[in-house]
Amino acid sequence: MKILITRKIETEVMEIIPESFDVVMWEQENSVMPRDLLLKEAADADAIFTNVTDRIDEELFSCAKNLKVVSTMGVGFDNIDIKAATKRNIPVGHTPDVLSEAVAELALTLMFACARRVVESMNFIKADEWKSWGPYLFAGQKISGAKLGIIGMGRIGKELAKMARGLNMDVSYFNRNRVLDTEETLQVQYKDLETLLKDSDYVVMLAPATKETYHMLKYEQFALMKPTSIFVNASRGTTIDENDLYKILKEKKIFAAGLDVFEKEPINQSHPLLTLDNVIAVPHIGSANVETRDKMVEITLRNILNGLSGEQLLYTVNPEVFVKN
């Protein structure tokens, strides 16, 4: 059995792969496996261990005649053509649950960093501009007791709501469907999107990447927010119009933005949003703590090993393939 792993991964968790398996691993940890090499190695692969940056599409499935299972190291799977996999009875795995707490922590980190102007303040010192104390030097926004609006009350949204309640924040949410049990247990309130944007001091985007959520926040929606409010995106870059966010921030119509994700990744230093002092950007590190990443690797591998054995995956995006079989 051949397993293709599209990034270099060095962790003891990899030892769960049986020695009899042929493991082909891309040699780089922080760069994308070249497309031509991906297609070449996929041609005789039985399983693919992928990630958000690989395009696992109809072209790849067509040439991968031996492919039995695909699993991505992440909760999102918008880089994989699920229809193409399903029509070939290939199960697709992912890693929900395990990363919810870590991503919620990063969203909260970005909220704090934007609110208290942490990066601006550090750069101020690095530029040797700190000459004296000032009564409003880098004065920011309050978090404790403020109003938080969460767009997307899934696993990560619920974790963030728990953390925010610990800060005595007034939490509301917008979701495709109301989550009544969560409203009661976490003491959160449902609001329509327009009301949430108008009322919130902090707006955190946690909706998944779908056709329905594509650019769901544009200039018109951002303009509803308070001039003192802060926007955070820890889901997918396609959920907002980045050009419109840039305009809103440039015009000072909101206070700041913290961004972990972008529509096209990776971005480079010429990206317009990076020219703004009221933007904090990080390179898609939502789940990046060692414990969480090790667990994600383990789940991805166990999804693959189960798939190669004809068993149900731990987490399957397209469980209907098992009904077919």
- Do 174 and 198 contact (CB within 8 A), yes or no? no
Kindly state the tokens that stand for 189: 């309130």
Contacts of 164 (CB under 8 A, 6+ apart): 108, 148, 171
Single-letter amino acid, residue 115: A
The answer to whether 88 is a known catalytic residue is no
The answer to whether 271 is a known catalytic residue is no
Exposure class string for 170-203: b at 16+ Cβ within 10 A, else e: bbbbbbeeebeebbeebebebbebeebbebbbbb
Which sign does the torsion angle of CA 114, 116, 118, 123 carry?
positive
The answer to whether 284 is a known catalytic residue is yes
**Extended strands (E) in the chain:** 2-5, 22-25, 47-50, 69-72, 92-93, 147-151, 170-174, 189-190, 202-205, 230-233, 256-259, 279-281
Looking up tokens 């963030």 gives 160
Q: One of 236, 242, 298, 302 is an active-site residue; which one?
A: 236
Q: What is the largest CA-CA distance in the chain?
A: 71
Q: One of 58, 220, 251, 265 is an active-site residue; which one?
A: 265
Q: One of 7, 284, 293, 302 is an active-site residue; which one?
A: 284
Report the C-alpha gap between 241 and 50 in whole angstroms: 27
Q: Are strands 189-190 and 170-174 parallel, antiparallel or unpaired?
A: parallel
Report the C-alpha gap between 96 and 103 in whole angstroms: 11
Q: How many angstroms separate the Cα of 303 from the Cα of each of 2, 77, 140, 194, 286?
A: 15, 14, 45, 40, 22
Residues designated as active site:
236, 265, 284
